Structure 1
């Protein structure tokens, strides 16, 4: 066995892959007969392009036409999709497109938050924003500024409360719509109902952006301007009390606008 291993090592060193012994080796496996057959010489193949093709030109027999009709080419039927198959493919393509399109949920607008108080000062009604959300106190700076505005307009500087303050949103919980449109409808209905219970109003003051937005359906662009509101009549838009205190330069434009608007209530009895 050791001699066999040494022999294989010698053959591997000489890069001999296969070999045949001259004599029978002891304990060796029998040789395969096909390995003992002599190798056959390979015949080189001739490419088909190099093989000459014999052209046989035979004269046409008498009575036989020279030109033979060409054989008809076989028709290949191409399967065409039926209408139902096309519709099914269209439906599946649309369904795949819808599935690939991301679903965008509509943004939910949070309800606005504000507090308003309705007052009566002579021939005018005043819908004023409560800066702190609580009713005015006698020594509040914002309330003192409101009293100054009323005196400058030749109106009583001790306005009367009309109802309780309106705080929006009305409900903390629930499914009721409390968005901007609902707030506009509610405030206009509330003010209209309260004014019907009072004497005729010459002008409605809208003090502060929430009062202008949800009673006059307008924005900050109408500061110091007159409005005509359906169901509420003539109105005058003023900046908020807190804004007037923070930006005193706005008071000059306010005084000029008051000179034009005050003619509405000067002819009315106080």
Structure 2
């Protein structure tokens, strides 16, 4: 009995529902007769007569992707677009060079002060020019000789009409500061450097119009005083009042050494 239970357990584990032994098994239950009959062959079911058999539909043709073979020396369209986009990116990333500034400056000497003066017309100041007469008034009010001496030739920027040399604002600043420092070294020590006009303030003092009537300390040039340009003072006389007030404070710098 134990052997029969063990066989059934094996057959259940192997998922065998029906089986026939080759020999008679001891203590086995008699086989059922219907299990000994061979199975009947399966007959395929015929299709209903009322339903016509339709011919199979031909499969649609699938268009193959077109492959472009590049000709010798030709560039694919995508490559052209990528190259154009890359070129635009390079041009956009490259900063545009600033145009060269245009100005003319004259270095003068009056007593213990040096003056870097903007030339309104680009030409040297003449004895009867209104701008030169105004400068003489300023020097007399400051207690300085009213006949300043020329120091070198005027500085005109840009230096070259053509060429690839950098003549932008930074190059102009470096040049003017070097020019003024070299000329002042050839003379007696300067107590104060007047920067007359916005180009003088910008390219010698590295400042802007906010520095009008103020004192500056410029590396390599020492103490400086920023003044509006002579032409601006003539066009806007109201600026003279603020200039006179500032001069009262600044003039003590050179009067104390005289």
Partner of 2:19 in structure 1?
63
Give me the whole-angstrom Cα distance separating, in 1, the residues matched to 2:211 and 2:126.
29
TM-score for the superposition, normalised by structure 2: 0.66
1:248 aligned partner: 237
**Residues in 2 aligned to 1:187 and 1:162: alpha-carbon distance in whole angstroms:** 14
Match of residue 167 from structure 1: 156
Asked whether 1:227 is paired with 2:216, we answer: yes
User: Which segments of 5 or more consecutive residues in structure 2 lack a partner in the other structure?
Assistant: 1-15, 21-77
Runs of 4+ in structure 1 over 4 Å off? 93-99
Counterparts of 2:18 and 2:80 in 1: how far apart (Å)?
72
Cα offset, 1:96, TM superposition: 7.0
1:185 aligns with 2:174: yes
Segments of 5+ residues of structure 1 without an aligned counterpart are: 1-59, 65-92
Q: TM-score, normalised by structure 1?
A: 0.64
- How many residue pairs match? The answer is 182
Task: Give, in whole Å, the separation in 1 of the partners of 2:138 and 2:248.
Answer: 12
SS of 2:156's equivalent? strand
Q: CA RMSD in A?
A: 2.2
The CA distance in 1 between the partners of 2:177 and 2:184, in whole Å, is 11
Which string of whole-angstrom CA distances, capped at 9 and with x for unpartnered residues, describes residues 102-128 of structure 1?
332532311010000000001100000
SS state at 2:203 partner: helix
In 1, are the aligned partners of 2:110 and 2:149 still within 8 Å (CA)? yes
Report the CA distance between 1:94 and its aligned residue. Answer: 11
Report the Cα distance in structure 2 between the residues aligned to 1:261 and 1:98, rounded to whole angstroms: 61
User: How far apart in 2 are the matches of 1:171 and 1:61?
Assistant: 109
Question: 2:202 maps to what in 1?
Answer: 213
